[in-house]
Structure 1
């Protein structure tokens, strides 16, 4: 039963984050709708590795493994950092969503009092550094996952 509760909670948080994305990037939204990760851009990926190592690896892991029990809230009520490898849910989100979550933070994107240990990196990292770190993450996914992520991006673009 607890797994079902976690799944319902995850769906509710996902819906809240998607609402936040629509609010930020909906009609009349900013230029970030056109965010596109570039995992084959070696210079950008090299910058992304440096940014990731300095700002993300302490929580999400040097090998993208995330924190233990990342689907279950800790005693502090917060979800641990999820993995960014193929076992996590990062690749389930289109580029613009990943960018917004990184720039503004999950709490801002979900709104409605949602709490998250992950800060937004606006004012800490430039847009290029955020794009670079996400491109680095995607560059490490297996080909099959990268292709599935590309399909998610295509679906998101068609819905705009």
Structure 2
């Protein structure tokens, strides 16, 4: 019975995480360094006081390492947030007034490049965070 449960969890994780499987992690790391590190940190550490809005009401860039909340979100939201920018991505999910400083990268990074960056970020997390994030994705 235990083996069956392990196989079901493994299959669900692999199935639910397909957008990030087989990606170019090296390219993702390079794209991250070129486009993301200036705000989110070279070591994915984010900006200081990232949970407190600045004087303009904008939250600083969060960490993408295990200490942040990136791994709490599904693949689709992470992709949309990167491609369309934070405010636009959350507005489509019914949160129109979120004051995000995250710009849109749709004219800067290809869709494959965004997926490579997300796969790179995920590759830095410990196994438990990777599994928790994968469980947030709907099976396809």
Give the TM-score normalised by structure 1: 0.70
Residue 35 of structure 1: CA displacement? 6.6
Q: Quick one: higher RCO (CA 8 Å, sep 6+), 1 or 2?
A: 2
Kept in 1: contact 2:77–2:89 (CA 8 A): no
In the TM superposition, 1:133-148 aligns within 5 A as 133-148=117-132
Q: Which of 95, 101, 105 is the aligned partner of 2:75?
A: 95
Report what 1:104 is aligned to.
84
Where does structure 2 lack aligned partners over 5 or more consecutive residues? Answer: 1-16
Alignment match of 1:37 (pick from 6, 9, 20): 20
Deviation at residue 36 of structure 1 after TM alignment: 1.1
CA RMSD of aligned residues (A): 1.8
C-alpha distance in 2 between matches for 1:110 and 1:143? 27
1:129 and 2:113 correspond? yes
TM-score if structure 2 supplies the norm length? 0.79
Please state if 1:71 is matched with 2:55. Answer: no
Higher normalized helix content (fraction of residues): 1
Q: Unmatched 5+ residue regions in structure 1? A: 1-33
The ranges of structure 1 where at least 4 consecutive aligned residues each deviate by more than 4 angstroms after the TM superposition are none
1:64 and 1:95 map into 2 onto residues whose CA distance is 18
Retained in 2: the 8 A contact 1:35–1:95?
no
Shift of residue 115 of structure 1? 2.8
